[in-house]
Every structure is written in C-alpha cells, then in structure tokens.
Amino acid sequence: MTIHFSAYIATSLDGFIARSNGDLDWLFNATTSTDDHGYAEYMNGIDTIVMGRNTYQTVLGFGEWPYPEKRVVVLSTTLSADAIPSHLQDKLLLHPGPLPQLLKSLTEHGCNNVYVDGGSVIQSFLAARLLDQITVTTIPILIGSGIPLFGNPGHDIRLAHHKTTAFDSGFVQTTYQISH
Ligand SMILES: NC(=O)c1ccc[n+]([C@@H]2O[C@H](COP(=O)([O-])OP(=O)(O)OC[C@H]3O[C@@H](n4cnc5c(N)ncnc54)[C@H](OP(=O)(O)O)[C@@H]3O)[C@@H](O)[C@H]2O)c1
C-alpha cells in the first residue's frame, strides 16, 4: 500500500511559519475564535506524524504531549535517543532522515497516512517529490521575516487546487493536491 503524505500548516501572509527565533506569538494571538479550522478532522485521518527536530523541540515546550494516540517520528541527525524525555520514549521514534530509508521504515511500520510537519522537512519532502497534499492556512498578518514555508526544491512543482475555505477568523485555508 502506498503511503499518503500530507502537510497541514499555518503561515503568515508573507509566507513564514515562525519568527526567526521560532516564536509563534503572531499565530497564537491571531484569533480568539474557538473554531479549530478543520484541524481535528484532518488529524482523524492521520496515523503517523513525521516532524523535524526544530518542530519537535517547539512541541515539547508546549508542556503536555499533544499526540498521545499517534505514531511520531522525529527526524534528526543530532538528537540522541537518551535526549527524549522518559514519558515519550515509547511514543517517539528517532530517524536520521534520509528519505528513502525513512520511507522503508514507515512502510515496515504499516503507516498509511502521514502528516509531515516542519518547514525544512516539508521542503525536503517536496524536493523529493513525496508530498501528496498540502493544506496551508494563511493568517492575515505580515511579520516581515522568519522561517519560510517554501524554499527552492530545484524543480517546478505543479499543484491542483482542491478547496479553499475563508473562516470568520480571517484565516484562509487552501488545500492542494500534488501529482509528481
Ligand atoms: N506555523 C505552523 O503551523 C508551524 C508548524 C510546524 C512548525 N512550525 C515552526 O517551524 C519551526 C521549525 O521549522 P524548521 O524549518 O526550522 O525545522 P524542522 O523542519 O522542524 O526541523 C529541521 C531539522 O529536522 C532534521 N532533519 C532530519 N532529516 C531531515 C530531512 N530529510 N529534511 C529536513 N530536516 C531533517 C534536522 O535536524 P538535525 O539538525 O538534528 O539533523 C533539521 O535541522 C519551529 O519554530 C516550529 O515551531 C510552525
């Protein structure tokens, strides 16, 4: 069975997923709406999350681990297994990241629907022509600089528009399918 890889990510209107220091204040303060903007529905379809080390470290800082029911793979060449807090040891898998080996490992673990998270990781999946779908939630704010969602994959990538939803919060969410 082929694995479906998707990303679900928020950016500022000028294309950043975090400030340069990783700060997400602009995102967390963007709305008082209780609407989850489709997040729970998206997560229901996901069995595995692959995230970059930087995203993992941000999530760790949130306190309570938000993905107790999901298989989580953290891509890193620098983290060692003993750096993983003990309460997460059986919930996380560390992987050094070469994508062919990662793909093999995900297949062996029976993963079907994988959420790809983190700017660099999304960029490397795009460059490797592995990402099948991306949902970008655009926050109506310009932050001027930061960590970009997209880089240069080295080739053009055509996307097919699937759906756009404009929420009362002012967030505009667009899903694209990517056929490589
Ligand atoms: N706005 C949003 O919705 C949203 C969502 C997610 C994250 N974020 C924010 O975005 C920031 C993180 O994004 P980021 O681009 O800095 O980092 P990232 O993609 O989360 O992590 C990058 C790290 O992952 C490791 N890695 C291993 N294999 C890789 C591969 N094949 N491709 C890419 N990375 C690989 C490397 O760690 P080693 O150096 O250890 O090898 C690399 O330095 C954080 O501030 C986070 O809070 C925002």
Question: What tens digit of pLDDT does each residue of 94-116 get?
Answer: 999 899 999 999 999 999 999 99
Q: How confident is the model at residue 1 (pLDDT cuts 50, 70, 90)?
A: confident
Q: In this predicted structure, what is the pLDDT of residue 18?
A: 98
Q: How many contiguous H segments (helices) and E segments (strands) does the chain have? A: 5, 10
Q: Is residue 10 part of a domain?
A: no
* Rg from Cα positions in the chain: 16
Residue 133's CB: how many other CB atoms inside 10 A? 18
Burial of 174 (0-12, 13-18, 19+ CB in 10 A): middle
Going from the Cα of 87 to the center of ligand 1, the distance in angstroms, rounded, reads: 22
CATH number of the structural domain spanning residue 153: 3.40.430.10
Residue owning tokens 């999304």: 122
Q: Is residue 68 part of a domain?
A: yes
Q: In this predicted structure, what is the pLDDT of residue 142?
A: 98
Q: What are the φ and ψ backbone dihedral angles of 176, each rounded to 5 degrees?
A: -120, 145
Q: Is residue 143 part of a domain?
A: yes
Question: What tens digit of pLDDT does each residue of 84-93 get?
Answer: 999 999 889 9
- Ligand 1 proximal residues by C-beta, below 6 Å: 9-10, 17-18, 22, 24, 27, 51-55, 58, 75-79, 97, 99, 117-121, 124, 147
For the chain, the average pLDDT equals 96
Q: In this predicted structure, what is the pLDDT of residue 80?
A: 93
pTM above 0.85, yes or no: yes
Q: Is residue 9 part of a domain?
A: no
Going from the Cα of 57 to the center of ligand 1, the distance in angstroms, rounded, reads: 9
Residue 103 contacts residue 1 (beta carbons within 8 Å) = no
Q: In this predicted structure, what is the pLDDT of residue 112?
A: 98
Category of 22 on φ-ψ map: left (φ > 0), alpha (ψ -120 to 50) or beta: left
Q: Would you give the DSSP letter of residue 2?
A: P
Q: Is residue 154 part of a domain?
A: yes
Q: Is residue 59 part of a domain?
A: yes
Going from the Cα of 178 to the center of ligand 1, the distance in angstroms, rounded, reads: 21
Angle at 35 between CA 48 and CA 145, to 5 degrees: 75
Residue of minimum CA distance from atom 14 in ligand 1: 119
Q: Is residue 7 part of a domain?
A: no
Domain range for 167 is 20-173
Mutate to test the pocket of ligand 1, among 120, 122, 171 (most ligand atoms within 8 A of CB): 120
Q: Is residue 52 part of a domain?
A: yes
Domain count for the chain: 1
Nearest-atom number in ligand 1 for the CA of 23 is: 45
Going from the Cα of 117 to the center of ligand 1, the distance in angstroms, rounded, reads: 7
